[in-house]
Structure 1
Amino acid sequence: MNFFWFPIEHLPIIILVMLVAFSTHEFGHAWTAYKLGDDTAYREGRVTLNPRAHLDWMGFLLLIVAGFGWAKPVPVRESRLRRPYRLSSILVTAAGPISNLVLAFLGLLVYAILFASNDFSASMTDKLDVFFRYWAIINLNLFIFNLIPLPPLDGYRILEQFFPLRLRIRMIQYEQWTFFLFLLLIFVGPLRNVTIDPLFSLVGPILEGIQHMLEWFFHQPASPFFEYRSSLGI
């Protein structure tokens, strides 16, 4: 019996892709904060792509087993960011999800180049197909998931910047309860099926958009990879 959400033989690929995806996500937060004036994350050694600096190993293990997990949050002091503080804070927060979107695009670009070369055996082509499927879909899922406007996700941190300070202070008092709601949506199957899971259907349209871009760039049809389907269980 397989307790994972993917075939066990794909575990090395899953670990590699997630290490890169999570490390780049947190690096995006830390690097952007550093460039916008807050060196808190820099002094804590978070402006790096080294996974050891970013991963919460319990969260990483849970992600592999259950498909949901977390990394170490990047410390940011808004008062140290460049003015306007709110805009800088939005940029720092958005840098994480955007980094995953960029990773997905770059991975698909590399795959399209390899596919166009047509220099691989059928066996190697199948292996590349599996790797780049996980690469694209995991990064796009992280991009979408982190934009959900519930604490502690990035979408909530972006949304709160548009509210008056008095309301933001009030929202902080209820964050712990909103976080429990978030956990319910994650771990209670029927709730997840009608709230969070439908959001991941956006992966398909995003892949189609990337497909059109790459077809325009290469002046030829893209790889069949872009025919999005969930055969891998993700």
Structure 2
Amino acid sequence: MEFNLERVLLALPILLLSLTAHEFAHAWVALRQGDDTAYRQGRVTMNPAAHVDIIGTLVFPALAIASGMPLLGWAKPVPTNPANYRNYRRGDILVSIAGVCANAILAVFFALVAFLLFQALTAASGAASETLGIAFQMALYGVIGNVGLIVFNLLPIPPLDGSHVMYHMLPPSAAASYRQIYPYGFIILWALVLTNALDILWPVIRGISRVLLAPIGVPLL
């Protein structure tokens, strides 16, 4: 297994920003919906230190990025008390999708940055070209990384965000049955990771990334 330090140095800061924005969005929307649990624990912040899980945010992602293995990473979950939401169903859905909405904004932002850097690269040379090339690569990581977080978190597997949305969209009897798998969500996720079943998501992630990059003239991933 070849360790690619350069790839880690370029991609890990982008992942850290993306995970921080994801968790901040959960905490901020929860506060707006009436629950101050995350706020009281200092989680309504873009300071990465408040959200970092050493293993999930740094160690696992660094090993995956460096080796080319499937990326698996997470930040500390935002604590919420849905009983505090002014409207339980509406609040739970909004808080659940807040993280992926933040990642969607970042994906579009990095696509625009990639466009600007690509235009600058065509006129640059020497050291400036090398620096712009590094920044351009980081912007591409920003697009595909945030799209990846969106697609992964929308899976209807507990405790991922998509499971909360799915629960509220099901009829009451089906929702009750669905909730019975909640205690086994992590087991299901790890089974999917270890069997490489999540590789099926890559065509979706790359396809969405290409859609974001193609209209602005950036080479497809």
The two structures have a TM-score, normalised by structure 2, of 0.85
Q: Superposed, which structure 2 residues align to 1:1-234 within 5 Å?
A: 1-3=1-3, 7-60=4-57, 61-66=59-64, 67-83=71-87, 85-117=88-120, 118-121=122-125, 122-164=129-171, 168-189=175-196, 192=197, 196-211=198-213, 213-214=215-216, 222-224=217-219, 227-228=220-221
% same residue: 35
- 1:165 Cα shift? 5.3
Q: Distance in 2 between matches of 1:211 and 1:138?
A: 13
- Change in Cα spacing, 1:210 to 1:156, as seen in structure 2 (3 Å) is same
Query: Residue type of the partner of 1:97?
Result: V
- Structure 1 window deviating more from structure 2 (97-106 vs 116-125): it is 116-125
Aligned partners of 2:182, 2:89: CA distance in 1, in Å?
19
The code of the aligned residue for 2:199 comes to D
Give 5+ residue unaligned stretches, structure 2: 65-70
Secondary structure of residue in 2 paired with 1:223: coil
- In the alignment, is the contact (CA less than 8 A) between 1:2 and 1:8 conserved in 2? no
Distance 2:200 2:45 in 1: 33
Work out the CA distance in 2 between the residues paired with 1:105 and 1:133. Answer: 11
> Structure 1 residues 76 and 10, CA, compared in 2 at 3 Å: closer, same or farther?
same
Q: Is the 8 A contact 1:100 1:143 kept in 2?
A: yes
Give 1:119 deviation, angstroms.
4.6
Q: Give the unaligned 5+ runs of structure 1.
A: 215-221, 229-234
Give 1:144 shift. 0.7
| Partner SS, residue 150 of structure 1 | coil
What count of residue pairs does the alignment treat as equivalent?
A: 210
After the TM superposition, which of the residue ranges 113-122 and 131-140 deviates more from structure 2? Answer: 113-122
Instruction: Determine if contact 2:114/2:140 at 8 Å carries over to the other structure.
Output: no
Distance 2:180 2:156 in 1: 16
Does structure 2 retain, via aligned residues, the 8 Å contact 1:144–1:200?
A: no
Name the Cα RMSD after superposition: 2.0
- Whether the 8 Å CA contact 1:59–1:70 is kept in 2: the answer is yes
Query: Which range moved further: 57-66 or 99-108?
Result: 57-66
Measure the CA separation in 2 of the matches of 1:153 and 1:181.
11
Post-superposition Cα deviations, 1:10-56, rounded to whole Å, max 9, x if no partner, equal 22222211110110000010111111211111111000011111111
Give, as a single letter, the amino acid of the residue that structure 1 aligns with 2:62.
I
